[in-house]
Structure 1
């Protein structure tokens, strides 16, 4: 890894920080490579019960690095679209709950990254939007597919066609973000939200998330119910299920083993 992304573990919370503050944490090839490695690293850490994605220096991510046009780097990133898709899928499929902590601006590719997370929590005066239309393109890295699943097709068309920006409060009102934090409270709110997953049985969380992601991916009801049945069978056969039942009957706190 270079230093375009940093990772840390705070208790049971994994934290990935997009780290190109001099460029408003815009996305380039190196950042994608580091993000891919960081996700893999935290995925293998059994201590991690949730993941926070944030940006350095009070800015989430201002999208793709347009300055990279000067040396052709953005064209390289475009030709290597497989890496971008791989990173997005790895974030979407991260086994434990994921939260995007949105501060400052989240534009274009920044919103598309946030949309890969399970939850989005924004600062009240954050700015979110898709500005690609004024560059003669559109958000083609999930913006026209994941975002409508969050806010509906019509609202997505308005955002994408006009290139307008929303405050954190406005984004919450249409469902683009799930919670809004007050001034200087974002990470406190995000960490408090993430901590509620720390005392949950990890296999049950993972299998529930996998089943819910089938809805996200547009599985039919029949396909989704089949996947749900298989996932539920996995959870039912775990030691944690037995521990949960026994703890409930004994009126004590369960001790999860993750197996």
Structure 2
């Protein structure tokens, strides 16, 4: 049985509430079985891009938002760093609503006194983009990967109830994707290095990873579309990536395989 853990800080990003590929059930299970002093929402929490195309808001997505708000009204400090998919919230940079703070970038001092630049990561897009055609092709290809991932996991849910990121597996074997990820990592670490910090914590590319580049610690908390991952800071300041599909407390998590009701 999983024992509820308390962390100094928790970092989650790329939840994409409102998107049919969001694994809200896994995130809700994670939030219900962890506690923390600080919760960092590292961008793309709500997929406002997708919602302008098609409104989709299942009950589980609502429950995640209610849980986050409940945490912010309790003893947990919540820092929201909007990304590109929740870009309209960027205009509230520097504002605070109760125990919830909104900002584009944040310098976090861990319990071991290491300092990390925290930001979504879309700020590095100019260093990674290979042109409009490649960006369009990448978007279409990613949509196909998520389509395959969705239907593969419907089959997995029917067979044994488990989840496995087919999209992540395929993406990791695409040469061009690996090059783009490396360029992104270098760009993120350069931003932290220019500020004289020890590391960088980000999301954006849906690729959880811990690495060292240019002498800077690179930490990507992943996403809740493909990987269901979070970055956590332990009480001693050490950092750890948790994949919730591997430690979920409920084997009966309801996969989001039913079509959500559309808004009238």
TM (normalized to structure 2)?
0.29
Higher RCO (Cα < 8 Å, 6 or more apart):
2
Structure with the higher strand share, 1 or 2: 2
TM (normalized to structure 1)?
0.30
Structure with the higher helix share, 1 or 2: 1
